[in-house]
Structure 1
């Protein structure tokens, strides 16, 4: 009889102990959640790290869009610019060939920035298959201090770039960012930044001086930077 009582007591203790252990486990779990919610700024959780890796992978995939768009486009840059300016008179300061996955079922389009004769910025989307203007809207978010024109036009800059790297232009834009190489130091330089999918199968990044149309090679996809620097070496 005493033996049975002892066994019952031990069983009860185990049950109570198990309940207590479960309570502690839940408390620890809650504590972890609390600690996670009060994690110091600058630390990264595993979930955050996964999100960042997913974003990086998405960026890597998007890098292959330009060559694909270049192969499928039937409308040239010149034709896209003409269509955009017919819709919105002014000056085109940027044009990019891309796949429109959001509004037009992944078709290839030219996306152009136009500084209109009405002194407003406009975004114009042109179908790269038939030259039809698919969309035109005012861009209220565009920095009004962005360069609006240059001595060398977009078409002239494109022609100069293609002489250096024959192929299809996938992006061209007027830029006035600081240039570390300008006259041996930093300074504002107005230039056209041009991306080309070359006939040689490579991706080329060129700079065209917006005053002189002089072309310099910024990068190509074999990893070499600045052809002028290589020549000097």
Structure 2
């Protein structure tokens, strides 16, 4: 019995003097109790290029238009046969949500777009080569009888640069440049 008291007393002294340090050291070394701060998730906005790739993966075809609204891209895709049309939204993370799908399009109305030698993606690359920045809009335009790609780029200086890209040759011409974004109420649909 005397021996138990001495061991208990010795244990109590060790715990009182070195116990808190030992417990703290053991807790810090314990991987179950160790909490490491996870790196903060970085918000990465999808670019026009990545939004178009995500949209075409979801609905294969030809991009008719691509427009950024905040952090969401609105993408219209025409099927390769010209008969289908999908309205898609691509989030900042690259996830695709289908808003509408139609399979009764008039293929003749989409013939020029579907057969164009220069795609929306190629028009973006050509416009960016002529004026570096970020693409905010790409749109097929054949309203006046002459088809072209309209590409809008926001430059590093904050100014908007509008380009027309020839769908047969890829030649870029500047159509307009202004000091602000396209907030003039113009509907591009």
TM-score (norm 1): 0.52
The runs of 5 or more residues in structure 1 that have no matched partner are 1-71, 100-107, 179-187, 224-233
What is the number of equivalent residue pairs in this alignment?
Answer: 134
CA contact (8 A) 2:126 2:170 kept: yes
CA contact (8 A) 2:84 2:104 kept: no
Q: Does 1:74 align with 2:45?
A: yes
> Displacement of 1:117 after TM fit?
4.1
CA root-mean-square deviation? 2.4
SS in 2 for 1:83: helix
Measure, in 2, the Cα distance between the counterparts of 1:157 and 1:90.
16
Counterpart position of 2:120 = 154
CA contact (8 A) 2:44 2:93 kept: no
Measure, in 2, the Cα distance between the counterparts of 1:221 and 1:131.
29
Alignment of 1:39-54 (within 5 A): none
Q: Deviations over 1:94-146 (max 9, x none)?
A: 100113xxxxxxxx21111111246211101110x210012342148977624
Measure, in 2, the Cα distance between the counterparts of 1:200 and 1:175.
27
Counterpart position of 1:217 = 174
Counterpart position of 1:193 = 150
Q: Does 1:97 align with 2:68?
A: yes
Counterpart position of 2:85 = 121
Measure, in 1, the Cα distance between the counterparts of 2:132 and 2:121.
15
Change (3 A) 1:115 1:156: same
TM-score (norm 2): 0.63
Q: Does 1:86 align with 2:57?
A: yes
Structure 1 residue runs of 4+, over 3 Å off? 139-144
Give the number of the structure whose residues are more often helix, by fraction: 1
> Displacement of 1:177 after TM fit?
2.5
CA contact (8 A) 2:153 2:160 kept: yes
Counterpart position of 1:182 = none
CA contact (8 A) 2:86 2:98 kept: no
The runs of 5 or more residues in structure 2 that have no matched partner are 1-42, 181-189
